[in-house]
Amino acid sequence: MSSTLKNLTLKVWRQAGPGSKGHFESHTIDEITDEASFLEMLDILNERLISQGNEAVVFDHDCREGICGTCSLMINGQAHGPERGTATCQLHMRKFSSGDTIVIEPWRASAFPIVRDLMVDRSAFDRIVEAGGFITAATGGAPDANLIPIPKPVADAAMDAAQCIGCGACVAACPNGAANLFTAAKISHLNLLPQGQAERFSRVENMVETMDEHFGSCTNHGECEAACPKEISIDMIALMNADYRKAKVKNRKQLARS
């Protein structure tokens, strides 16, 4: 049963480029069906802006089915908006009411410079993954499936961590601009599995220290977990913290031998 929302006010962040000064721009949406997704609502707004000869609002989006991690909007002070466990693209207008004012801002963190309007550059995440988000695999013939037995709870826990789509909502929601949930998820999904053991300790050391170059620190507010479209648990952060401590000792021992 669809219904129509009337008289929405949008306050959208507009910023011409990385260094320029931005501002909120108000737009009115007179009518929109509640079946429209949030991004479709922005598409409709952009069509209107373009037909009026104005610049369209720039925002990131790609798959629009919650698996690519490209969309990234701070909606009414919540990363990915009011719906729990979804990315912005899976948020629908039925979560809002007629007459609402909706404030849309980009992610804000020094590691995520604004490219334009609502689009930010999240390549700092790539630096973290480059530092250790890989395993050593033998080349040659493809190994048989299920050659390495993995206990089901371990596989499940690794899968929980591997759900991370790297959208950056954890950083955006964190009052400290910390990327601990992202980094912990990327570390844990490999560190939990047998295939990830060879680089386990160099991985955690390199990824944590690369994270440190770009992001803030974790004070255990738990906002990241609440904002995460994949509902990744902050238990992953504890796992990372424990592994980092072990890594510092073990890597030191290994270095002493070399």
Partner 1 sequence: MSQTMQRGPVSGTAASRPVRRRPFLLDLYATAVGKKYVMAVTGIIGILFIIGHMVGNLKAYIGVVEHNGEQAYDLDVYAHFLRELLVPIVPEGYALWGLRLGLIAALVLHLHAAWSLTVLNRKARPVRYQSARDYQVASFASRSMRMTGILVVLFIAWHLADLTWGWVNPGYEYGEVYRNLDASLSRLPVALLYIVANIALGTHLFHGIWSLFQSMGWNNPRFNRWRRGLATGIATIVVVGNVSFPIMTLAGVISYKPV
Footprint on this chain of partner 1 (rule: CB under 8 A): 11, 13, 18, 22, 24, 74, 76-78, 103, 105, 108-111, 113, 115, 121, 123-124, 127, 130-132, 173, 175-178, 206-210, 212-223, 225-227, 234-235, 237-245, 248, 252, 255
Nearest approach in angstroms of CB 241 to partner 1 is 4
Closest to partner 1 by CB, 33 vs 221, is 221
Residue listed under structure tokens 């209107």: 48
Interstrand relation of 101-105 and 4-14 (parallel, antiparallel or unpaired) = parallel
Contacts of 15-19 with CB under 8 Å at 24 or more apart are 15/106, 15/114, 15/116, 15/117, 16/116, 17/115, 17/116, 18/113, 18/114, 18/115
DSSP string for 2-65? --EEEEEEEEEEE-SSTTSPPEEEEEEEEEEETTSBHHHHHHHHHHHHHHTTPPPPP---SSSS
Closest to partner 1 by CB, 47 vs 209, is 209
Taking residue 252's Cβ as centre, other Cβ atoms within 10 Å add up to 11
Q: Show Cβ contacts of residue 172 under 8 Å, excluding neighbours closer than 6 positions.
A: 72, 74, 79, 107, 108, 109, 112, 227
Nearest approach in angstroms of CB 54 to partner 1 is 21
Nearest approach in angstroms of CB 141 to partner 1 is 27
Closest to partner 1 by CB, 193 vs 244, is 244
Closest to partner 1 by CB, 89 vs 240, is 240
Nearest approach in angstroms of CB 101 to partner 1 is 10
Nearest approach in angstroms of CB 80 to partner 1 is 11
CA distance 159 to 68: 16
Closest to partner 1 by CB, 3 vs 101, is 101
Closest to partner 1 by CB, 142 vs 257, is 257
Nearest approach in angstroms of CB 67 to partner 1 is 22
